[in-house]
Structures are given as structure tokens and as C-alpha cells.
Amino acid sequence: MKKFALIIIIILGIASGCSASTSGSEIDLRSMTLREKVGQLFLIRPDQLNVNLSNDLIHKSKAVGETSVTEIMLDTLRNYPAGGFALFAKNIENPTQLKIFTRELVNACTIQPILAIDEEGGIISRIANHKKFRVKKFPSVKSIGETGNSRMAYDAGAVIGKYLRDYGFNLDFAPIVDVNTNPDNIVIGNRAFGDDPELVSRMAGAFLDGLHSQKIAGSIKHFPGHGDTTNDPHKGYVAISKTWDELLNCELIPFMRNFAKTDSVMVAHITLKNITHDDLPATLSQELITGKLRNELAYDGLIITDAMMMGAVKENYSSSEAAVLAFEAGNDILLMPWDFREAFDGIIHAIETGRISEQRLDESVRRILDFKSKFVF
């Protein structure tokens, strides 16, 4: 929904005597079709709207990516509306193209989309590491943490937030709050602020403040902590052997300290062998997401899965099955399923057959719309 429509909704909410945010969500929900509601759950690659591309090409980082909205993509959106898009280096050519592309994506959607990107600072920075962009680059997140100066983290968040806003984004998949406790970790390493949970907590909070100063949302990741792993979930099964008490005393500290400040939490595809009894990746585990994150830790904000096309999920579950399990587990947003349309149809079928209630669907859609009322313009 475009900005003027959101304003109308807020005005109607005030006139009805309800608070603007609650009223806006309620009125929007009542006017939405089932497919529009389900679409809000999906944050996908723009490439996934091109039905002529294979899933292998869509998810291959070095392949050619979509850099403008085509008629084929518009036609897919009419049948499979998406709640947002995550852009990668292959979707980015230069500053002018990126500004046009993000605006085209906004205009293509009936309800304004979340526009997200991984811009952590350091090695994972889709814009800063692009040769056509002249924005400030940060050597690594670890180098910021080593200063011990949270102002440096704030400044990094503000610098990144400013250019993300300039290029049309509203969500940064950052900061990482993983505590890098395992020197053999091949996934996190210098992407983390450090190996001290108190330091990571302070730095991540300051980075979030910097993003917020530029009206960009953040997402702390990768719950419940990816710092003490040695395998890569992009390729397959990853497990940690720590107990819940051990996580509470280290890896979970930066999450808990920043629940009130963050705009979302991203969940990792790691299996918790000594915590949950379902043997599922955290993203698919109701024990972890609803039982631990929602109920025990009392986090009531937006929950996003890590990319569902990763091997830890794709190699063991169909896109439909994974989407349903992830939503049943308690996630609100399903990030980049391997097959978007199959995952979408899987959620529709689960609702139509009663496996998932529409009340449960509305619960997540309301969180997503509340998020959009704050950050999507």
C-alpha cells in the first residue's frame, strides 16, 4: 500500500478512537485477501519473480541477477504478492540503477515492501564492497569491536544507514550479535564484534542506534548464537552441543540486552542437540522459537528466518514443508525459500486445510504491518 493509503488508514484509526498503529494494522488486515496476507510473510530475491529462471540460477551468487522490474516479474507479483525483497550484489550495477530499481520494486507492490540488504560493515557489505559505489568502507566488524569504543559502532551504523536510506532500503540484516567464541568458526570470524558477550552487546546496541538515526531498521542475528560452530549452514547440517544454561551465560546475552532496541531477530539454521528434542534446525523448531524465544525470553517483536535456500534446510525439506514448519515454529517472515511459489502454495494449503489458523496468520501479518508503519515510507 502506498504512503498516502497508509496515511488514510492512520486517520481512520484516530477517528475510530483507537491508537493509530493498532487501528492501521486492523483496518489493513480486514481489507486484505488471503493471498495478500500470505504474501506479507515472504521476503524474497527479486530474481524469484522471474518464472523463466531456474532456482539454481536464482540462488547462485555469481549468476546474472535482475536489475530492473520486468513485465514477467509484475505478472508473478499479481499472483504471488511478496512482502519484501532482499537485494544482493548481482542485483546492483551502479548508484543510479539501484535507486531506480528500489523505486520500481516499491511501485510494483500493492502494499509497500520491505527492502532489505546485508550491509554489516566489513566482508559482508553488498554496496560498500561494490566497485561502482563510493561510500565509506569499514575493514571489519571485529576492528570496530577492538576499539572498545561504542561511538565507533554508532558511527558505522549511522554511515551505513544513511547510504541505505539514500538507495531506497529500509532494513539492514545487521548487526551480528554472535559471540565469536570458536577460533575454528568459518562462518562468523571477523564478522563479529568480538568474543566478549558484554562488548558485543554494547557495540551491537550502538550500531542499532546509528541505523535508527537514519530511520533504517536492524535485525540482530543469528539467534541463538552462531559463534561456537565450525560448519557452514549454507552447505548442510550444523549443530551445537551447548546447553541452554551455557547459551544464557554467553551467546544469548547480546540478544537479550538488545531485544528492546532491535526491530527484528534473525534465526539461524543450527540444531541444538542438548536443548531441543525435535532434532530440527532452530528456524524450524517450535521448541526454540515459540518455547524459548517468545515465551521464556519474552521477545514479542518480528522474527525472521535466515535464508531458507541454505543447504541445512533445502537438502532435507521441500520448500513447501520448510515454509509450513518455519511458520508453525513461530517465525513471522520467511526469507528466500528455495522455491518461492511452492513455499507460498504450501502456506496457502496449510491454511485452507486448517493446519494453520487464519488467526495465527493475522498475528504475523500484524507484526509485519506494524514494522512497515515505522520504517516503510
* Residues catalogued as catalytic: 234, 306
Q: How many CB atoms lie within 10 A of CB 360?
A: 15
Rounded to an integer, what distance in angstroms lies between the CA atom of residue 307 and that of residue 268? 9
Determine whether 79 is exposed, middle or buried from the number of CB atoms within 10 Å of its CB (0-12, 13-18, 19+): exposed
Collect all residues with Cβ–Cβ distance below 8 Å to 73 and sequence separation of at least 6.
Answer: 46, 49, 50, 66, 108
Indicate the angle between helix axes 197-213 and 150-166, nearest 10 degrees. Answer: 40
- Residues, the chain: 377
SS3 (DSSP) at 147: helix
In the structure grid, which three cell numbers stand for residue 295, read together? 515465551
**What φ, ψ does residue 12 adopt, rounded to 5°?**
-60, -40
Cα–Cα–Cα angle for 180, 185, 187, rounded to 5 degrees: 95
> In 39-170, where do the E strands start and end?
42-44, 84-87, 114-117
Rounded to an integer, what distance in angstroms lies between the CA atom of residue 367 and that of residue 217? 14
DSSP state of 240: E
